[in-house]
Every structure is written in structure tokens, then in C-alpha cells.
Structure 1
Amino acid sequence: MIEGRTSIQRFIRGLLAYALLLLAATGCIGADRNASSPKATDSVSSADAPVSDRTFGIIYPMTYTTYETITQDAKEAAESRNVTLLVSAPDEANTEQQIRIMESMIKLDVDGIAISPVNSDALAPVIRKAVSKGIPVITFESDAPGSGRTAYIGADNNATGRQIAITIGQLLGNKGMIIVETGMQEMLGLHQRLEALLEYLNEESSIEVLEVRYNQGNEERAMKDIETMIGEHPHFSAMISLDAVSASAGTLIWKAKGLNRIFLSMGNNPASIEALENGQLTAIVSQNEQNWGRSIVDTLIKVSDGRQLPGFIDTGIREIKQADVR
């Protein structure tokens, strides 16, 4: 039990959480209450003993199917801890909505917040505000350095960009022409991936990058971007997607057109694995996203206990090819 959390405070917080559920316009906030006791089969060390009556917020950049895997993993981690999760995201990638959601969670006086910031610089002041009120904040997927956040969960995005370049180089024999589709131009993690990718290809290969486009988190725009690039560069050798939205859009286009070109994507989720099995995707570079949910809950429990943690919790990078899933 956290000191200073009275029954009245928890009751008020519950009412506010319910009120937020009615305000869908602020970003689709949902609560998941897990009140079960830990089971004998649960793998919980004495250092991570189950706790009760904690509320954690998880804020995604947008509502998208790829984040469902992370949410499910987080729910399973919370199940034996008697933890309430408030999971929220803007309908589409939107910095202002993320800020409003953060403000709402600060008013709820939650015990911790995990956020994948659309724009790190813009979110930094509200992250600092949460921290100043005693609410620990961690980031995942994309970091917000200098914001006062306690820790970042995910892989090194510069190293990820280099790995993507190495993988495409191996697939193409370090020559050929590629098109690249990515997500939000202002998102730090995506910027780091792209810059590292371009730098490595320029210095270590003869691969020509024909065009880079940004979908800004919009699947319709991603579809249009990819179809346009395919039409304007009919002799391209391969496509790289650096975000989940372009991975999904590209998979649909590859399937519809029956394309027999190399397609390298980011992200380990059921849809991507299926596309890999079916031949739409050639390879995936994963940051082990399927484990982020548990890591988020475990880390928030530790930081809300006041435990000292490293600033970077590395989830690692993994290359998955068709042979690995067949």
C-alpha cells in the first residue's frame, strides 16, 4: 500500500477515472481493474512482491492495432498485482491530445505514467509537471531526454536503424534501390532510426535511397505514399517501413498487388508475423515490443516504490526472417 493514499483519495480518483471514460474526445481513455490475488504459479520474486491499489497510466501516440499486443501484455502483468491500468491514446497521432491526456492523469493523481511521446520537446513540460507532483513518468518506444522522466524502455533507435540497414544490405547484396516509408516526422525515435539507416547505407553500401515519405501516423496517407512511390519508381528493389502504420499499409499493398519485391518492416506483432509467414514481408527487425507491456508495469511498480533504476532499460533488437516462422 502506498503511504498517503487514503480511502477517500482512492474513491475520488475512481470517480474521476469514471468521468474520464465518458470524455472520449480527450483520447479514448479506458480502465482495466485487475483485483485478483497472486497465484502460486505466478513468477514474482520477493523484490517484486504483489502490491495493491495502484493506478498506472499508459499513453500511446495514437489508437492502432499494434499497441493492442502491448496492452494485453501489460494487463497480464497487472493481473497478479491488483493494479488498475488507464490506457489511452489520441484517435490519430496528435501532440496536443497527448498533452491533454497527461494533464487528465495528473489530475487523477495516478501512481505512475508510461508514455510514447509523439513530440518529445512538446511533451517535456507536462512530463516535468507530473514529476514535480510526485508522479513518476517513464517513456517507451521513443524517449524524451531532459524531461525528467525516470527511465526509457525500448531499444536504442540509432542501433535499430543501423540493424535495419545491415539487414537490407544482406538481402540486396549491398546494392539496389529502395523506397522508405516512416511515421511521424517529429517523433524522436523514428527520426533516430531514419538518420542511422541513411548514414549506414551511405557509408557502407551502394544502395540508393530513391525516396523517403512520412505518413504522420495515418494509414490512409501511408497507403497513398507507398502506392505513389511504387508508381514513380517502378524499378525499386525493396521497401523499408520504419513504423507500424506503414508496415500494415505496405502489407495490404503487397498482398493486393502480388508484389515480389523485398519488404523489410519494423515490429513484432501477430499481423507482421502472419505477413511474414504469407510472404508479404521478407524480414522484420523487432525491438521485442511484445514484452514492453510487462516491462512497463514492472518498471512503474519499482519507481512508484522509490527504487533506483537505470535510465535506459534495453529490450534489445531481433531480426526475424521467413525461415524463422515457417
Structure 2
Amino acid sequence: MENEIAQKVAKADLPITIPVKTFLLLLIGTAFWGSGFPLTKIVMSSVTADVAAFFRFGIGALVMVVYCLTKNKTTRKVGRGNWQLIILAGFIGVTIFNLLLFTGLHFANASDGSIIIPILSPVITVILASFFLHEKLRRIQVIGIAVALFGTVIFFSVIFDGSQLHLQRFLGILLLLGSALCWAIYTILGKRLFQRVDPLPATAYGMLIGSLIIGLVALPNLITTNWGSLNFNFWLINLYLAVFPTVLAYLFYNNGVKEIGGGRASVFMFFVPISGLIVSALVLYEIPTIFQVIGALFMIIGVYIVNVQKIPMWGFSK
């Protein structure tokens, strides 16, 4: 059975074991992402959703492109035939994803976003990957995802008790669901793109293109923004959002997609809720209930089942 698994993984050009460095980078990157939900909520108390998205990814894109330009020409090389895919990935994974995400967070809670995006994105991704990338979804992976989804049900059973669910929040949740779908599609596109182009220039140029489109959408609100009311803390938070949950998290995640495949990399998104809940409690005083904690624990268990198994496919290598 183990030899059969190894052969199937080899055919898909995926490593049999997960490099420790790849595992840690994916874990750290998703933790950064989780912190971005509550901090974004704080930023949007001063500006509109599209302006907040443009600040974060406009600054992030500049940092990414400058970093990319410090690399050698071979690393920076994209190739004419890859630009269409880069533009498409930037449009879906940066522009559409973030406009839906930021607008959704405007209406919904930060905790809603930190749960919906990471839980549903991998589910959609592994389904798409099995169809389009021929990445085999094994029974044990299905069990792990089911355990994590069970934890999500526990979490939302407390939040959506009927009396709390109103039209505005429901709209936000629908937008967040659309954002999760965009991220799944971006992951699939990324797997194909990163086989041709290094993740650094692909991510940098895709983010630049996507943020420029966001800027065009946000232009009317940018003109009417009261710039004098934006204090030092506002810009400090934006700088953090641009560098850590945006630049570093994107690089770490895209490298993981290239190294271990879109389906397996996307499962690390289950770590995002843990970081999101912790930071939400610290900065927004959204204290999770005991049921939310239990739900989060089930999600961690689900990630463990999928990613840390005593079989060659999920072993660790240096």
C-alpha cells in the first residue's frame, strides 16, 4: 500500500515526505494570515473596504516587487507565455478575493472570516485539485477534513443561534464564501503557474496587477478619504498587514503549493482560525466561548490527521 502511494505521488511530481522547512513556513504564514482578519477590521473603522484593501496590497505589492528585483535575472524571469496566467491569478487571487473579503469583513465579524476562509477554501481546493490536477484525495485525508469541518459546525452553532443572525451579517458571510471560492481557484492556478515560473516573481507581479485593479475600483473613495484623520497607528497596522499577512504569508504559501501540491498546502489554512481567534481576543476583545475553543481544537486535530500521519506521504524530511 505504501509503495502504491509513493508511486502515485511521484507521478504527480509531489514529494513523498514534507520538508520540515516547508511545513514551518506554511504554519507561520497561515498564522500571519489569521492575524490579518481582526487587524483589517480595525483599519476599516477609518476607511472603506476597497480603500483598506488597496492600502494593504498596494504597499505589499511594492515591497514584493522591490524584493523580487533584488534577485538574479534567472529568478526574476517570467516568460512571455506566462503573463496571461499571472494576470488571471492576480485578478482572482488578489483583486476579487480581497474585494469580497474586505467587504465581507465590513458586514460580518472578524471571527467569521477567520473561520470561513480557511475551512472552506481547502475543501473546495482539494475537490478542484482532484479533478484538474489529479491529486489523489485519500480516505484518511477525507477523515481529517471531516473532523475539522465538525469543529467548524460546533463553532458556528454558538455564533448563529438565530437571534444573532441578521441580514447584514448574512450578506457578509455570503461575500466571505465567495472569497473562499476565489482562493481555491487561485491555489489551483498557482500550482500550474509555479511549475513554470518561480513563486517570487509570479506572486509579486500578480499582486501588483491585482492591487492596481483594486486601486481603480477604490478611486472614488480614495478621492473622498479624509487623509488628515488617519493617525500613526493606522499606518503602522497597514505596514504590518502589507509585510506579514500579505508579502511573507503569500510567499510562504505559494512556496508550499509548489513543494507539496495545492491540495495538501491548502489544508494548512486550518491553522488560520486559531491565530485569528487569539488576535481577535487581544485587539477586539472577542473572547471565544468554550464551544468555540472546542471547535478550534477539533480543527487542529483535523489538520494533524491530514498532515502528520505515520505513512511515507506525510513524513518529514530535512
Give TM-score, length-normalised by structure 2: 0.27
Say which one has the larger Rg.
Answer: 1
TM-score if structure 1 supplies the norm length? 0.26
Task: Select the structure with the greater relative contact order (CA < 8 A; seq sep ≥ 6).
Answer: 2
